[in-house]
Structure 1
Amino acid sequence: MAVIGGGAGGLAASIALARSLRSVIVIDAGSPRNAASAHAHNVLGHEGVNPLGLLAKGRQEAEAYGVQFIDATVLSAANRTQAPETLGFDLETSVGISIEAKRIVIATGLTDVLPDIRGWPTGGAIPFFTAPTATATRFRGQNIGIIGTTAMSYHQAMMFSQLSDRVTFLRHNAPAPDEAQRRMLDSLGIVYVDSAVEAVERTESGTVVTLRDNDSMTFDALAVGPYFRANGEIFEQLGGTVVDHPTGMGSSIPAEANGATDVPGVWAVGNSADISAMVVASAASGVLVGAQVNAELIMSSVS
């Protein structure tokens, strides 16, 4: 068994498989999506845990069950399956190690494609977040700016209005609000600014946003809806097709509720298959897929 990706979903899948006495190799480059975050939230029993610390502990647990780790990326993947009963895959890694696997779990996550704005945050210099259920609660009651990117940004603004009565919607690239969206903004007291954002800058007084007409506004934090692009290159090499999300907010690997994809022997967990999955949801999907793959392997050996 090969698990590509060592985030919450990949680690959970590897542990579930190893506990069922499966031989498991995890290939992980060590660059999780939330690496820049100091805290992970909505993690039952571990609220505010450091994301990298959580993964380090998960890796220790996996190793205790015999899971092997290769600190690398997968450069190429080939599907050498000839028939349903002869599933097989070949992986080439960036450290020169070749792997043969009977089944593959893809846990490569997604990439947040942020809007092209001058001065956009790097290294956590500017407080920004993508969802009110993640890290945004630390800015409760503060001055929050929402940078619009799609029609779903209006829904995002609605959700943030529960956290603060000082929310401003900066239209940027989002479509103009329809009548229902305008009523929503007005009824929730969300200030609407019909302008694109030219630049952002972190100052001692807060995050300064420069608009296209050269006006500027200062916020405690910014919220943005990025394009959630699935890291699906390996899936495509194995014969699969990454699909656009119905909302237009991103792409994902199409998978059934149990994680099975339309490529026999290939499964997907976490943000690879679900753009909305947070840490606990990703881990839960990994446990489910681990159990499903183990059962499928048992059934495949039944004559």
Structure 2
Amino acid sequence: MNDKLNGYDNDLYDVVIAGAGAAGLNAGLVLARARRRIAILDGGAPRNAPAEHMHGFLSRDGMPPAALLEAGRAELAGYGVEPIAARVDEITRESGDGDAPAFTVRLAGGASLRARRVLAATGLRDELPDIPGLREGWGKDVLHCPYCHGYEVRDEPIGVLATHPLAVHQALLVRQWSPDVALFTHEQDFSPEDRERLAARGIDVVEGEVKRVVADDGRLRGVEMADGRVVERAALFVPSTMIPNDGPFAALGWERDEQGRLRTDAMGRTTVPGVSAAGNVADAHVQVIMAAAQGSAAAMALNADLVEEDVAAALGATDGATVGAVR
């Protein structure tokens, strides 16, 4: 058991935050400044760990992702909050005397925490095609987001691997950064309309199955086809399958829409009373700056809900059951 969890069992927190990335840490900062009793749980596997730099974050453009988290932890330490290295295994809704939400958060290793509210900020994981070399280059020159990495490979020969329905869209998007773009069909076929759109933008369509990604000294050199051809490329964009890390929360019965986005209101409240969400666990497409902003918004809403619950308790009321859910 993590030493920092000793003696924490059965303590009641205002908010337990699962996830210590940009969304979770920013939520923690807002709640700590609101003088709430919080616990931040760090599963230790940030999605952007392989990336050398992050971009599109005003005042933080080019900062290594780990440096942002280190700075966030230092700021939280100034308020007496230190994330706990722990992974959430299960979250259950308590049934007790009051109607207000309360949860038991069980952690890997056996410890548990109790919380009036919980915030999911657990991010997502990328599932890549089973092609040799992809995982080794992931976040370096095997990339997923042109807005995150496109500028750094501008005007270079770029490839897009068609392993996802959005491959054509991504190839057309990547064309903004380079005039030399090749779309590898791999196992997909494209409609005549899509091929016309690609041709109109000067995007080459490379037919055939991709065998592996070729690298020299850890840097991408090209894409080897099943027939032995090597198409030289300096970077390869791969639309990954993005899987939310939401297992313990999904078990509570929250809802997603047809596009896989979590149903939340503008402040991150989910369809489960007392449970909020921020960052990539809720929407796979938000960048770091957006995740941080969502964490801030969710924290303010959580504090406001708790204030109302505290007032109701002070008045002897028991109508807190409807606080904190999307309706």
Query: So what's the TM-score if we normalise by structure 2?
Result: 0.85
Q: Give the 3 Å change call, closer, same or farther, for CA 155–291 of structure 1 in structure 2.
A: same
Q: Cα gap change, 1:190/1:96 in structure 2, threshold over 3 Å: closer, same or farther? A: same
**1:236 CA drift (Å):** 2.0
Of 48, 69, 78 in structure 2, the residue corresponding to residue 55 of structure 1 is 69
**Would the aligned equivalents of 1:150 and 1:173 in 2 still touch at CA under 8 Å?**
no
State the 1:142 CA deviation. Answer: 0.3
**Larger C-alpha radius of gyration, 1 or 2?**
2
1:211 — aligned with what? 225
Identity between Structure 1 and Structure 2 (%): 33
2:294 corresponds in structure 1 to 285
Superposed, 1:133-212 pairs within 5 Å as: 133-174=147-188, 176-203=189-216, 206-212=220-226
Unaligned runs of 5+ residues in structure 1 are none
User: RMSD of the TM alignment (CA)?
Assistant: 2.0
Q: What is the alpha-carbon distance in structure 1 between the residues aligned to residue 106 and residue 139 of structure 2?
A: 36
Name the residue aligned to 1:80. 94
Q: 1:302 aligns with which of 302, 311, 316?
A: 311
Q: Aligned residue for 1:25?
A: 39
CA contact (8 A) 2:119 2:277 kept: yes
Note the residue ranges of structure 2 that are not aligned, 5 or more in a row: 1-14, 313-327
- Structure 1 residue aligned with 2:279, among 262, 270, 275? 270
User: Are residues 244 and 145 of structure 1, via their aligned partners in 2, closer, same or farther at CA, if it must alter by over 3 Å?
Assistant: farther
Q: Is the Cα–Cα contact under 8 Å of residues 5 and 106 in structure 1 kept in the other structure? A: yes
TM-score, structure 1 length as denominator?
0.91
Q: Distance in 2 between matches of 1:141 and 1:253?
A: 37
Once residues 235 and 225 of structure 1 are traced to their aligned partners in structure 2, the CA distance between those partners, rounded to angstroms, is 26
> How far does the alpha carbon of each residue in 1:218-252 deviate from its partner, in whole angstroms, 9 at most, with x for none?
211100100111111111233335x4752xxxx44
**Distance in 2 between residues matched to 1:150 and 1:37, nearest whole Å:** 22
Change (3 A) 1:217 1:298: same
Contact 1:110 1:228 (8 Å CA) reproduced: yes
Partners of 1:131 and 1:77 in 2: CA distance = 32
Query: What is the deviation of 1:136?
Result: 2.4
Cα gap change, 1:296/1:115 in structure 2, threshold over 3 Å: closer, same or farther? same
Number of residue pairs matched by the alignment: 297
Equivalent pair of 2:52/2:64 in contact (CA under 8 Å)? yes
- Asked if residue 98 in structure 1 is aligned to residue 107 in structure 2, the reply is no
Bigger mean CA offset, 87-96 vs 131-140: 87-96
Once the two structures are TM-superposed, the CA of residue 31 in structure 1 deviates from its matched residue by: 1.8
Residue 230 of structure 1 contacts residue 252 of structure 1 at CA under 8 Å; is this kept in 2? Answer: no
Distance 1:199 1:79 in 2: 47
Q: Is 1:238 the counterpart of 2:252 in the alignment?
A: yes
CA distance in 2, matches of 1:158, 1:212: 25
Question: C-alpha separation between the residues in 2 aligned to 1:30 and 1:218?
Answer: 36
Tell me, what secondary structure is at the counterpart of 1:186? helix
